[in-house]
């Protein structure tokens, strides 16, 4: 529901088939989910796949909406 403008939506289930086609392992990648817990597991998987600069957005999209961009809807 909440999307950071300019971000790319890749659901967790699609990541194994899309990561190497759509993401550059040399770039900084920020992964986010609702509260930041699922994104941590995705980051661990990405790092195992060679995406060493992947990181999780602390607090998720909920924290982003509260602290950075209140126009992003909370759910």
The enclosing domain of 63 has a CATH number of 3.40.250.10
Q: Is residue 1 part of a domain?
A: no
Q: How many domains are there within the chain? A: 1
pLDDT of residue 50: 97
Helix axes 37-48 and 15-22, enclosed angle (nearest 10): 60
Question: Could you state, in chain order, the average pLDDT of each consecutive group of 10 residues for the chain (75 residues)?
Answer: 84 94 96 93 97 95 89 84
CA distance 6 to 36: 19
Q: Is residue 26 part of a domain?
A: yes
Residue 31 near residue 57, CB atoms below 8 Å: yes
Can you give the residue range of the structural domain that contains 43?
Answer: 20-67
Domain-located, residue 74: no
User: Which ranges in 1-75 belong to alpha helices (H)?
Assistant: 15-22, 37-48, 60-67
Q: Is the residue at 45 inside a domain?
A: yes
Could you give the residue numbers annotated as active site? 33
pLDDT at 52: 97
The pLDDT assigned to 40 comes to 95
Q: What are phi and psi of 30, to 5 degrees?
A: -110, 125
For residue 30, is it within any domain? Answer: yes
């Amino acid at each position: 529901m909440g999307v950071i403008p300019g971000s790319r939506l890749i659901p967790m289930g699609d990541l194994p088939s899309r990561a190497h086609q759509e993401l550059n392992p040399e770039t900084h990648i920020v992964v986010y989910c609702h509260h930041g817990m699922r994104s941590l597991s995705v980051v661990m998987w990405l790092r195992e796949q060679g995406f060493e600069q992947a990181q999780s957005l602390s607090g998720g999209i909920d924290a982003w909406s509260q602290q950075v961009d209140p126009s992003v809807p909370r759910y």
